[in-house]
């Protein structure tokens, strides 16, 4: 159990920030899982040695960050990935006419590898640490539009296999949460133009060297812990990327 010891009062009334960090640490340690209610305000205030008002301010920020959810008369719960609201918050590829749809995802390849220096730095793991890498092909409205090259650290996804990944009954981030208790609460994305190589040509149905959109994403759990690196390529002939004001504190 994480406890908070406070000596002199925090400067500038930031004590609630310390409480917030302590609660994030408890979430990161899986003390409270997605969909579960957190302890009462009275119990948490006693645990952290702060007033109810200070505790509520910390909870207010976690609710604003969509990490916690208040249900009137029931209590405060750890947010879960909800199919419509959360999926379309981070799946930003839509048809040019604005129509949104869920992609049909096909797993093309899955393997174990050793993290390169660059990948290790992005995932905050040791160079050479074991990672799982897999490639998805995504179809929208029956048309192959997108590929995703995804890498996750084996240390955070122990026991992940191709069969389990292929047969998952939910979206990928729901799968992370339900099976590995990894709650993605934010992403950082960079977008640029790339040229299709041979592999992308076959998967996206474009000519060699055709311009495609490249989206580089790092997904974060609590305390901005990186849990996934994803490089997506999009055929933008009929589809486009719709940006948002997402930040590390914005949930999936």
The pLDDT of residue 88: 60
- Closest alpha carbon to 172 in 103, 224, 125, 234: 103
- Distance CA(63)–CA(76), nearest Å, equals 9
| 130-170 tens-digit pLDDT | 999 999 999 999 999 999 999 999 999 999 999 999 998 88
Query: Do 83-241 and 11-78 fall under one CATH topology?
Result: no
**Residue 103, pLDDT above cutoff 60:** yes
Residue 79 confidence (pLDDT) above 90: no
**Predicted pLDDT at 244:** 65
Q: Tell me: the pLDDT tens digits for 189-247?
A: 999 999 999 989 999 999 999 999 999 999 999 889 999 999 999 999 999 998 764 43
pLDDT greater at residue 68 or residue 111: 111
Q: When comparing pLDDT for 101 and 193, which is higher?
A: 193
Superfamily the domain 83-241 falls into: Chorismate lyase-like (3.40.1410.10)
Instruction: Return the HEC string of 77-108.
Output: EECCCCHHHHHHHHCCEEECCCCCCCCEEEEE
pLDDT at 170: 81
Evaluate whether the domain defined by 11-78 bears CATH number 3.30.470.10.
Answer: no
Domain ranges of the chain: 11-78, 83-241
């Amino acid at each position: 159990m994480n406890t908070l010891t406070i000596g002199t009062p925090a400067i500038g009334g930031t004590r609630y920030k310390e409480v917030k960090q302590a609660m994030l640490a408890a979430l990161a340690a899986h003390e409270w899982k997605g969909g579960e209610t957190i302890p009462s305000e009275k119990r948490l205030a006693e645990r952290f040695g702060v007033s109810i008002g200070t505790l509520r301010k910390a909870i207010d920020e976690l609710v604003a960050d969509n990490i916690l959810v208040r249900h009137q008369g029931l209590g405060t719960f750890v947010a879960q990935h909800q199919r419509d609201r959360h999926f379309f918050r981070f799946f930003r590829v839509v048809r040019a006419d604005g129509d949104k749809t869920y992609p049909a995802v096909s797993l093309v390849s899955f393997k174990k590898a050793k993290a390169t220096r660059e990948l290790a730095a992005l995932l905050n793991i040791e160079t050479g640490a074991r990672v799982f890498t897999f490639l998805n092909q995504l179809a929208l409205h029956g048309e192959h539009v997108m590929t995703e090259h995804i890498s996750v650290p084996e240390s955070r996804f122990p026991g992940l296999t191709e069969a389990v990944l292929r047969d998952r009954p939910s979206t990928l981030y729901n799968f992370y949460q339900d099976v590995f208790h990894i709650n993605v609460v934010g992403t950082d994305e960079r977008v640029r133009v790339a040229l299709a190589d041979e592999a992308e040509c076959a998967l996206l149905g474009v000519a060699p060297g055709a311009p495609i959109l490249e989206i580089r994403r790092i997904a974060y759990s609590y305390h901005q812990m990186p849990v996934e690196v994803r490089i997506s390529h999009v055929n933008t002939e009929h589809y486009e990327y719709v940006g948002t004001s997402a930040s590390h504190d914005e949930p999936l």
